[in-house]
């Protein structure tokens, strides 16, 4: 059986209450190769492409405090651009394209827990009307 390392999911499954950008797109730093004076951008292990990231607020009112913000990464040679905010809100609502998740064990606590690494190929402005339109959700 061939189970993919990354599992493709729809944006709506992960963010049924919308997703909002709370940062600009920044480089992912490779801390193992970087020095104090020379920061090295991380690259994707499979494609070799540079990694970029953006912080996102999950609009789910039931999301627990530690899971309300998360990071979505992009593996692409050109830095992704944030869509312009036309919503009149302080944060830009977005839709992630080709979203996938990678489960891993977060060992930051003694018990450990399953956590998710999010990856997308791009993002566009979410022009849908506010409010949930789906019921599925992948917890972070």
Confidence of residue 73 (pLDDT cuts 50, 70, 90): very high
pLDDT at 101 over 90: yes
The 3-state secondary structure of the chain, one letter per residue: CCCCCCEECCHHHHCCCCEEECCCCEECECCCCCCCCCCCECECCCCCCEEEEEEEEECCCCCCHHHCEEEEEEECCCCCCCCCCCCCCCCEEEEEECCEEEEEEECCCCCCEEEEEEECCEEEECCCCCCCCCCCCCCC
pLDDT at 135 over 70: no
Average per-residue pLDDT in the chain? 88
For residue range 11-44, what is the model confidence (pLDDT) as tens digits? 999 999 999 999 999 999 999 999 999 999 999 9
d(CA 73, CA 96) in angstroms, rounded, equals 10
| pTM (two decimals) | 0.85
On whether the CB atoms of residues 68 and 57 are closer than 8 A, the answer is: yes
Length of the chain: 140
Cα atoms in the 13 Å half-sphere on the side-chain side of 124: 6
pLDDT value at position 66? 80
Tell me the percentage of the chain whose pLDDT exceeds 90.
68
Looking at per-residue confidence, does 93 or 134 come out higher?
A: 93
Q: Has residue 8 got a pLDDT over 90?
A: yes
């Amino acid at each position: 059986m061939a189970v993919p390392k990354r599992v493709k999911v729809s944006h709506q499954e992960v963010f049924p209450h919308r997703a909002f950008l709370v940062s600009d797109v920044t480089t992912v730093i490779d801390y193992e190769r970087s020095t104090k004076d020379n920061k090295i951008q991380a690259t994707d292990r499979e494609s070799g492409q540079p990694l970029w990231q953006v912080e996102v607020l999950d609009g789910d009112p039931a999301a627990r405090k530690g899971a309300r913000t998360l990071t979505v990464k992009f593996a692409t040679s050109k830095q992704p651009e944030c869509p312009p905010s036309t919503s009149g809100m302080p944060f830009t609502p977005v839709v992630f394209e080709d979203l996938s998740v990678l489960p891993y064990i977060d060992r930051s606590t003694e018990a450990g827990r399953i956590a998710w690494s999010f990856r997308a190929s791009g993002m566009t402005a979410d022009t849908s009307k506010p409010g949930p339109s789906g019921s599925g959700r992948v917890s972070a």
